[in-house]
Amino acid sequence: MNEFSLPVQFLSEFTGTMLLILLGVGVSANTSLKKSFGFGSDWLLIAFGWGFAVFVGASVSWRSGAQLNPAVTLVQAANGVLPWGHVPLYIAAQLLGAMVGAVLAYLVYKKQFDTHDDPANTGGIFFTSASVKAPQWNIISEAVGTFVLLMWVQQSSPFQAGTADATPQFGNSALGYAGVAFTVIAIGASLGGPTGYAINPVRDLGPRIVYTFLPIKGKGSSNWGYSWVPIVGPLIGVALTVAYLWLAGEITAEPM
């Protein structure tokens, strides 16, 4: 049971997700807006930017378990780490934090948005889309990416104390939040090409909502017709992870 009060847990998730999206949308803006110093940088910088955005957000939000993602929250509830009654509070904090983080990123790059010569294509700075539109395959991309993330979060090998005959085995859990960052970088570099790897419903939905209302002159559509994919895909990733944990004996009740 978390030792902190629910308001503290809410604030923790809100703040961590806000920083995650501020830095993640920020690196997308830095590489996409023509009057930014980072303009034209390659995909690897984006992957590193998002990965270390996760590191910063998670490090700050330790009081709530550093979830920052409804997919993580749902798996944590399924395996008994988080009470189911806390799930709506966590997801609300994550969505609100994602929206505020997107607004802050816009404010940081306000003048670059104002002077960008292709405002119709600025939506991709905030939300994901498919490089080849094929919803059933786009969902698979998001589900597999989310599954990889959740497997590292849930299956990282634990610390094992040493004995007189053996040294301690720290396991990959000793990497902590940096390990999650490395995992996100790996997902982005290896699996991010088809859909931009949302792997987190609020990472996509929060900034997409914000973009709809931002005063960017000449901006394009928020592409709401695609918005369900980065929600359904990660939820399938949750189901796959819960099924694995159940088969591995780490969840005793049958998965819902």
Q: Alpha-carbon distance 172 to 224, whole Å?
A: 39
Going by pLDDT thresholds of 50, 70 and 90, the confidence category of residue 154 is: confident
Strand partners of residue 166:
163
Inform me whether the pLDDT recorded for 132 exceeds 60: yes
pLDDT at position 253: 55
Strand partners of residue 169:
160
Closest to 130 measured CA to CA, from 144, 141, 118? 141
- Superfamily of structural domain 6-124+132-247: Glycerol uptake facilitator protein. (1.20.1080.10)
Work out the mean pLDDT of the chain and round it to a whole number: 91
Amino acid at site 165: D
Going by pLDDT thresholds of 50, 70 and 90, the confidence category of residue 96 is: very high
Q: Where are the domains of the chain?
A: 6-124+132-247
Measure CA 240 to chain center: 18
Buried b (16+ CB within 10 A) or exposed e, 32-50: bbeebebeeeeeeebbbbb
pTM of the shown model? 0.92
Inform me whether the pLDDT recorded for 254 exceeds 90: no
Going by pLDDT thresholds of 50, 70 and 90, the confidence category of residue 194 is: very high
